Amino acid sequence: MNLKGQVVLLTGASRGIGLALAQSLAGRGAKLHLVSRRFAPEMKADLEQRGAESVRLWEKDLSIMSQADELARALEGESIDVLINNAGLLTGGLLEEQDPDAIDQMLMVNVHAVIRLTRKLLPHMLARRSGKIVNNASVSGKMFFPCASTYAASKAAVVAFTESLKQELRGTGVSTLLLITPGVKTAMYDEIQDLYGGHLDLSFMNSIPAEEWAERVVRAIEDDEDTLWPTGSSHLGVKFAHHLPALFERVVRPKFKRS
């Protein structure tokens, strides 16, 4: 897919991976619809300077169901070529100590908003027989660590949703791209230590720059790939957890403590 002039809707666009994606897409000359709870005043002008054909900012909180539905209704008539469901919230820690309201907000952003936006925009893609739906699932959708119960559940849901949708869309001209995102150095990544570190030894973790991952994602869209895997140790870890789950659990067990 040549992204020049293509209409791209990107959620979670004001920081981290989302901001890096917006900048990379702007450099390709895309028309951007960007969604976030808030934007820096200079963001629109910066992206236009980088080459975006147009930029529209939508200030919506996708953890609030009514705002997610408002966005879906507002965009229902738009001809979106690429939908990137990138927005996400992180939860973690022992399940009984997690804030139930935080869990609900996370599930709304990570799962419900993904499904609602996709459902609203898909009919226009099907009518045109073209389009790409990109869902950010994370390695946590494949690797299940203690302290990650609720967050991993949300990302596993994204994996299942995307894989099922891929089969439904075969032969329609519309395709999916599942992102098995590794550790990416963002503000959210920095929260992991606070949420998990009290009970889980995180010395095995590593991260890559947001710009590096964003560029890989954009190239995967251009190449019409259906899955983007991490590289290096993250890729090996995902495969290990998937193919040898009992052994993976044995390796992880000494790194966890309840007290």
Q: For residue 249, what are its two tokens? A: 């659990």
Distances (CA, A) of 236 to 38, 140, 242: 36, 14, 10
- Smallest CA-to-CA distance from 157 within 213, 120, 113 is with 113
- Is residue 151 part of the annotated active site? The answer reads yes
Identify the active-site residue in 9, 57, 135, 151.
151
- Measured CA to CA, the distance from residue 4 to residue 169 in angstroms comes to 24
Q: How many other CB atoms sit within 10 Å of the CB of residue 11? A: 25
User: Of the candidates 235, 157, 231, 152, which has an alpha carbon nearest to the alpha carbon of residue 196?
Assistant: 152
CA 100 to chain centre: 22
Q: Catalytic residues, which ones? A: 151
